[in-house]
């Protein structure tokens, strides 16, 4: 290869390597800020501030969804396999919200240790199956007991 | 001697003449695959057990996102070849790839928003996957803007190639964002190393669409490169002859 071309090849490689390293350091330094939500374990560990708008995500614990008789409130628990977090919500849940499925809620952590949410989003998983196949799989919950949300 | 084919490839004239034979094959095969994939995916693939019919947006969303990422590498690698070997054609392909990539990125963001509403319950969230994809869109727009911002073609080529190369760092971040951080976006369904978590009856139309998008991309990129070649080389003898001939052939008058 011509020496001038070789030099330019080295320069281009260096440019890509150094800018990648820079971006890598920045994303590494901000890694916790890049998470879209806190896992329930972070709430139990006391990493989440009270009375500030935060997001929590996890698997909706099967059997935990309870609707209040006198108000629109619905209560449910989120889990990441290690800890559980109680959530209270008073608006309409998304269609794909279900027990055993993942959800992401936005709200404020109350002093009593539960989150009063003003938004609940359903998080679907990466598996796609026709209804007949899903039935034969015995209604397998997509995120139950799995630590990875 | 070993590099001769490489340098001949760099000639815009050679590319223009050779590529006219590729166009009908790329375009024809691409359109057939897209048509088959659409009818198969939208009409015959079963609905999803949880999402119902709304998951079918995947048949546009996933291939568009695939090509938005792959197209960025094509653009950046062409920029690198142009910088290193001073190859004119390579810069032309780089410039041609930018608006196509921007359009594909927009399609994947837009279809993602349309898909998000019925499944997540929102059109948009600022999670790592969606935000990094938006940055990709801006990178494409930046390359387009830079390539038009200089009066000297060579300066424009160099500046946009440098931006394209620096931006490549974003591609692995987009790809791995769903694994590195908590996101609302799902992790990858199609996996390289392990079994994909999609039923075969839904997978085959998806892979047909992805193949169709690749061919369609190659077709559009070739078409756009050809038109940019004509714009850049209009002073040369062969372009004048070509255009002179075609204007006589179509009988157009000034």
- Give residue B6's pLDDT: 75
- Give residue A145's pLDDT: 44
What are the beta bridge partners of residue A103?
A58, A122
- Give residue B21's pLDDT: 93
SS3 B137: helix
pLDDT tens readout for residues A33-76: 888 999 999 999 989 999 999 999 999 999 999 998 988 899 99
Q: How many residues does chain B have?
A: 254
- State whether A24 and B169 contact (CB < 8 Å): yes
A72 neighbors B95 (Cβ within 8 angstroms): no
B75 neighbors B164 (Cβ within 8 angstroms): yes
Tell me the pLDDT band of B247, cut-offs 50, 70 and 90.
low
- Give residue A30's pLDDT: 84
- Give residue A2's pLDDT: 85
Helix residue ranges, H only, B148-182: 153-167, 170-180
- Can you list the positions of beta strands (E) in B116-226? none
Residue B254 pLDDT greater than 50, yes or no:
no
- Percentage of chain B lying above the pLDDT 70 cut: 95
Taking the Cβ of residue B51 and every Cβ of chain A, the question of whether any pair is shorter than 8 Å is answered with yes
- For residue B119, list chain A residues with Cβ-Cβ distance below 8 A: 94-96, 122, 124
pLDDT tens readout for residues B55-106: 999 999 999 999 999 999 999 999 999 999 988 999 999 999 999 999 999 9
Residue B250 pLDDT greater than 70, yes or no:
no
The stretch B162-168 carries a mean pLDDT of 96
Residue B211 pLDDT greater than 70, yes or no:
yes
Tell me the pLDDT band of B246, cut-offs 50, 70 and 90.
low
Determine how many CB atoms are found less than 10 A away from the CB of residue A2: 11
Of A16, A137, A115, A140, nearest in space to A57 by CA: A115
The pTM score is 0.90
Of B84, B184, B186, the CB nearest to A126: B186
Q: Which CATH superfamily is domain A35-136 in?
A: Nucleic acid-binding proteins (2.40.50.140)
SS3 A113: coil
Residue B52 pLDDT greater than 60, yes or no:
yes
- Give residue A146's pLDDT: 45
Of B178, B42, B60, nearest in space to B114 by CA: B60
Taking the Cβ of residue B55 and every Cβ of chain A, the question of whether any pair is shorter than 8 Å is answered with yes
Q: Say how far apart CA B35 and CA B41 lie, in whole Å.
A: 10
Taking the Cβ of residue B43 and every Cβ of chain A, the question of whether any pair is shorter than 8 Å is answered with no
- Give residue B231's pLDDT: 92
Residue B185 pLDDT greater than 80, yes or no:
yes
b/e per residue, B57-76, with b = 16+ CB within 10 A?
Answer: bbbbbbbbbbbbbbbbebbb
Residue A125 pLDDT greater than 90, yes or no:
no
- Give residue A134's pLDDT: 76
Q: Is the dihedral of CA B159, B170, B112, A31 positive or negative?
A: negative
- Give residue B8's pLDDT: 74
pLDDT tens readout for residues B226-245: 999 999 988 889 999 888 86
Determine which of A32-41, A136-145, B175-184 has the lowest per-residue pLDDT on average. A136-145
- Closest-CA distance, B80 to chain A, in angstroms, reads 7
Closest residue, chain A, to B189 (C-alpha): A126
The stretch B115-130 carries a mean pLDDT of 94
Determine how many CB atoms are found less than 10 A away from the CB of residue A42: 18
The stretch B41-60 carries a mean pLDDT of 93
The stretch B166-174 carries a mean pLDDT of 95
Closest residue, chain A, to B161 (C-alpha): A12
Q: Say how far apart CA A118 and CA A87 lie, in whole Å.
A: 10
- Give residue B112's pLDDT: 96
- Give residue A34's pLDDT: 85
- Give residue A105's pLDDT: 95
Interface probe for A, chosen from B121, B160, B183, B191 (most Cβ of A below 10 Å), is: B121
Contacts 24+ apart (CB under 8 A), B188-196: B188/A126, B189/A126, B189/A127, B189/A128, B189/B62, B190/B62
- pLDDT, averaged across chain A: 88
pLDDT tens readout for residues A84-96: 999 999 999 998 9
Q: Which residues contact A71 (CB under 8 A, 6 or more apart)?
A: A90
More confident residue, B8 or B229: B229
- Percentage of chain B lying above the pLDDT 90 cut: 80
What are the beta bridge partners of residue A85?
A78
The stretch B155-176 carries a mean pLDDT of 95
- pLDDT, averaged across chain B: 92
ipTM above 0.90, yes or no: no
Please report, for chain A, the start and end positions of each structural domain, with discontinuous segments joined by +: 3-32, 35-136
Taking the Cβ of residue B149 and every Cβ of chain A, the question of whether any pair is shorter than 8 Å is answered with no
- For residue A95, list chain B residues with Cβ-Cβ distance below 8 A: 118-119, 121
Q: How many residues does chain A have?
A: 149
- Give residue B248's pLDDT: 52
């Amino acid at each position: 290869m011509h020496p001038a071309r070789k030099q330019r090849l080295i320069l281009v490689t260096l440019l890509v390597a150094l800018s990648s390293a820079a971006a890598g350091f920045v994303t590494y330094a901000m890694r916790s800020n890049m998470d879209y939500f806190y896992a329930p374990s972070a709430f139990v560990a006391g990493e989440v501030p009270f009375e500030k708008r935060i997001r929590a995500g996890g698997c909706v614990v099967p059997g935990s969804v309870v609707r209040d008789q006198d108000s629109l409130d619905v209560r449910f628990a989120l889990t990441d396999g290690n800890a559980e977090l109680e959530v209270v919500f008073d608006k309409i849940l998304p269609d794909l919200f279900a027990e055993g499925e993942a959800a992401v809620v936005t709200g404020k952590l109350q002093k009593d240790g539960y989150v009063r949410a003003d938004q609940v989003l359903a998080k679907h998983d990466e598996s796609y199956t026709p209804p007949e196949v899903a039935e034969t799989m015995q209604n397998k919950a997509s995120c139950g007991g799995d630590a990875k949300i | 001697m070993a590099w001769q084919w490489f340098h001949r490839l760099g000639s815009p004239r050679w590319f223009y003449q050779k590529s006219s034979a590729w166009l009908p094959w790329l375009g024809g095969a691409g359109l057939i695959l897209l048509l088959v994939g659409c009818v198969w995916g939208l009409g015959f693939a079963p609905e999803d057990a949880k999402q119902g019919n709304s998951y079918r947006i995947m048949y546009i969303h996933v291939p568009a996102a695939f090509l938005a990422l792959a197209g960025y590498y094509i653009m950046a690698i062409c920029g690198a070849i142009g910088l290193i070997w001073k190859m004119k054609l390579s810069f032309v392909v780089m410039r041609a790839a930018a608006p196509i990539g921007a359009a594909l990125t927009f399609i994947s963001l837009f279809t993602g928003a349309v898909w998000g509403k019925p499944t997540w319950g929102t059109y948009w969230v600022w999670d790592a996957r969606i935000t990094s994809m938006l940055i990709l869109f801006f990178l494409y727009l930046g390359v387009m803007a830079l390539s038009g911002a200089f009066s000297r073609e060579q300066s424009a080529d160099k500046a946009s190639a440098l931006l394209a190369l620096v931006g490549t760092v974003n591609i692995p971040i987009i790809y791995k964002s769903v694994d590195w951080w908590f996101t609302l976006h799902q992790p990858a369904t199609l996996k390289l190393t392990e079994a994909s978590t999609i039923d075969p009856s839904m997978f085959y139309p998806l892979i047909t669409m992805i193949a169709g998008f690749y061919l369609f991309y190659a077709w559009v990129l070739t078409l756009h490169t050809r038109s940019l070649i004509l714009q850049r080389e209009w002073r040369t003898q062969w372009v004048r002859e070509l255009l002179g001939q075609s204007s006589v052939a179509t009988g157009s008058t000034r």
